[in-house]
Copies of this chain bind each other. A is one copy, B any other.
Amino acid sequence: MTKVGIINVTGYAGVELARLLHTHKGVDLVAVTGRGAVGQKLGEYFPHLCDMDFTITADIEASVDFVFSALPQVASAEACLPYVQAAVKVVDISADFRLKDAAVYKEWYGADHPAPEMLEGAVYGLTELYRPQLASATLVANPGCYPTAVLLALAPAVKEGLITADIIADCKSGVSGAGRGLGLIYHYAEENENLLAYSVSGHRHLPEVEQELRAMAPPFEPRVTLMMHLVPLTRGIFASCYAPLVEGKLPAGAAGREAVMALYRDFYKGEPFVRVAPQPPATKHTWGNNYCIVYPTVDVRTNRLVVFSVLDNLVKGAAGQAIQNMNLMVGLPETMGLEALPVYP
């Protein structure tokens, strides 16, 4: 059994990892850290985990074969470094190893990268697109929640050359996507019955989206407007993606809708966690599970592709995809530990 540690269990991605790993049959969770809660029992800190018998430590003290880091950026790279150097496999949920270019990292995160030499070797863990590389990866950069939704929505269209570069992705996210830190806009009385846009002049997930769209079909050079909205949900991301169709690629009118649906179904055929839905999706259809549900259609009046995608930002957008990646990295079935269906209503 693979022995697994979680660095920083006290945030939302960390605690979701703990929840999901508790019933995972293929690995043994052996250590959980969290600097603000050292010495506390996990089940006291998180009463819903009262059946998990762990003491939160400052650092991983047990011997581990695999590490998840759920620290914030910069701190996460620093924490992952020694494990990677010791050939312990790592999935980093932070943004630290997603961008291939350290200069772009500095531009968006405002810090020198702690380990730029490791950027090239890190695999971008959007499982569906990087499955071949994951089997042999030591260091995997788990994608951001928004990029997971946007990239899975657009990949079939970009790879098939269906759309031009003029992409608009209007994204809506629940509050847990912002983490467990306190802030006035996350106060219940402020965010309930409220909807707002944020990071309007540029969200940190933009360079990640651009990098990966480029990688899909070089020399495709996307011109992406990525706008983020905070909505009164605890969990859930809804991405609405719009782009002009390239002339002549799809039949006109309703037939175009069917063609794009068929193309998407074919692209994601056999995928265990991506569903191409027959009707527009709802975030609730993924609540608590690892699905990304995608719905492509055509605005036949304007000849634009419209793709909606939804996921649970803490599962497919964070801890679930991290486990999906781990399964492939250690040779377990990809779906192990992720079998639970969405919780509805």
B-binding residues in A (CB < 8 A): 12, 15, 19, 22-23, 44, 46-52, 166, 168, 170, 172, 174-176, 180, 182-184, 186-198, 200-202, 206, 223-225, 227, 229, 231-236, 238, 240, 242, 244, 275, 277-289, 293, 295, 297, 299, 301-302, 304, 306, 308, 310, 339-345
Q: Which residues from chain B contact A227 at a C-beta distance below 8 Å?
A: 240, 242, 306
| Chain A interface main SS type | mixed
- B306 and A193 contacting across the interface, CB-CB below 8 Å: no
- B193 and A284 contacting across the interface, CB-CB below 8 Å: yes
Pairs across A and B, CB under 8 Å, 8 listed:
A12-B345, A23-B341, A47-B282, A50-B285, A180-B189, A190-B345, A193-B283, A196-B238
Nearest CB in chain B: distance from A146 CB, A: 14
- A187 and B190 contacting across the interface, CB-CB below 8 Å: no
- A15 to B284: give the CA distance in the assembly, Å: 14
- A299 to B227: give the CA distance in the assembly, Å: 10
The answer, among B15, B187, B195, B293, for a CB contact under 8 Å with A344, is B15
- A168 to B52: give the CA distance in the assembly, Å: 34
The answer, among B189, B225, B235, B277, for a CB contact under 8 Å with A302, is B225
Q: Which residues from chain B contact A285 at a C-beta distance below 8 Å?
A: 47-48, 50
